[in-house]
Structure 1
């Protein structure tokens, strides 16, 4: 369940902190903290105890200081969350393929990095980022992916749509897996026990003849865990992007940015 929102505090102050354009603390004794230490401690609290445990008081305790000392650096929890969201996506270019290697290995690497990110920081799925506050780390990732998509024939708007679709797939798949694990923790009922309780009624339903296709599935149809789902979905999504990009390079292919990526015969070009 979403519990927080990006950009939920003072937007101007969050942006100043993200981009380092604001004034640094100058009052009082020599600062014993840094903004990066505070944000790193906040991420550690959220990773270990969940987003619900995050507070200025809790972060101060993690750092071994008083709550008021944090307010010299960051106005409050909402702005701190904006900094955390950018902190965790810090980009390591050396760990990713060079954009010159082509768009597919780059997008594959971006997707896998994002997949691992959600599992390392499950609290990310509790934050509504429909209005994202873009910091330098987030833009580094975006710039990297867009460089790889240069020369594909995609319109600029389509390149952005590709990134949105990729992010939506990874986030949605991670949410399904992590919510399942959270359900076990929340209820104390394992996945095996959960399905065992349903087995009698489901077996009866399969014998009824109402669901012949379901009844004919192999016994292992629902086994294999979530990683195979991610692998198949990512491969299919990248194959789909490849088909669109290939269509752009064909003579009389779909025009850039055309709705649904298609040109109709009525417009003078045959599909």
Structure 2
């Protein structure tokens, strides 16, 4: 997975492709396949098989061109990854993102809504989590998504830096929460056991262990186990998000108090 890193392609070539600034070849017949076709095919492969399934040859074959013809549109796989990331950062087909005209009076609901949209994005395209991404993909969809998220903190009295850091904090929380959900799916695929099946397999052995030296665990564990076994990702996500919003509420209230 070390080779699957977004942002390591030629940055200027990537930006020209992201923003449609490339010039078509002056000679020869016009290609029936464009950059969007190649990116769409790559996303389809990644959604079905993960990022490891994406190769320039596979993508070229998916759209009916030769592997060498791929490079007349996109210089390499690294740039392709960036194009893929920006493509899926837009709304899903048939889906409309929540309005950018957020009412600051309902900032908490606004942030929660966009956080859940961000979570759904990762669950829809789990391969995005496989790509190590440090440098932002500054394409139109990515910037639109940032604008969308950033708008939830507009008009709350936060500085520009605080708005950006708030977006990063919530995004990092979503990123970590989703990673555990996707890891559970990967483990099931690799072991053939769901979390519940794994739990039932080891339960008889655990019943033979004396847990009295661990009084707090002994009290909490059975209650949690009976409620949701190894974990309820939706419950955990909602709980953590609410606590995160509580903290932001303290910051925002302090800003309003200082301004009054």
TM-score normalised by length of structure 2: 0.88
- Residue 43 (structure 1) aligned with residue 43 (structure 2): yes
Q: Which residue of 2 aligns with 1:14?
A: 14
Using a 3 Å threshold, how does the CA distance of structure 1 residues 16 and 210 change in structure 2: closer, same or farther? same
Q: Which residue of 2 aligns with 1:100?
A: 102
Q: What secondary structure, in the 3-state scheme, does the structure 2 residue paired with 1:216 have?
A: helix
CA pair 117-251 structure 1, distance change in 2 beyond 3 A: closer
Counterpart of 2:174 in structure 1 is 170
| Cα pair 1:98 1:106 within 8 Å, conserved | no
CA distance, structure 2, for counterparts of residue 11 and residue 63 of structure 1: 25
Specify the alignment match of 1:258 in structure 2: none
CA 1:204–1:243 in structure 2 vs 1: closer, same or farther (change >3 Å)?
farther
2:195 aligns with 191
Partner of 1:216: 219
Listed one character per residue, the Cα deviations across residues 31-70 of structure 1 (whole Å, up to 9, x for unaligned) are 1011111111110010011111100110111112211222
In 2, the alpha carbon distance for the partners of 1:190 and 1:145 equals: 34
1:112 corresponds to which of 101, 116, 135? 116
Question: Per the alignment, do residues 26 and 196 of structure 1 end up closer, same or farther by CA in structure 2, a change over 3 Å counting?
Answer: farther
Tell me the secondary structure at the aligned position of residue 133 of structure 1: coil
Residues 137-189 of structure 1, C-alpha deviations (whole Å, 9 max, x = no match): 11112122323322212121111111111111111111101111111101223
Instruction: Tell me the SS of whatever aligns to 1:99.
Output: coil
Distance 2:146 2:86 in 1: 12
The alignment partner of 2:102 has SS state of: helix
SS at match of 1:214: helix
Give the whole-Å Cα distance in 1 for the aligned partners of 2:205 and 2:3.
35
Q: Please say which of residues 10-19 and 189-198 is displaced more in the overlay.
A: 189-198
Measured in 2, the distance between the counterparts of 1:115 and 1:166 equals 11
2:102–2:110: 8 Å Cα contact kept in structure 1? no
Whether contact under 8 Å (1:99, 1:145) holds in the other structure is no
Decide whether the 8 Å contact of 1:60 with 1:66 is kept in 2: yes
In structure 1, the gaps of 5 or more residues are: 254-271
Q: How many residues align?
A: 252
2: CA distance, partners of 1:126 / 1:231 = 24
**CA RMSD in angstroms, aligned pairs only:** 2.2
Give the structure-1-normalised TM-score. Answer: 0.85
Ranges of 4+ aligned residues in structure 1 off by more than 4 Å: 91-94
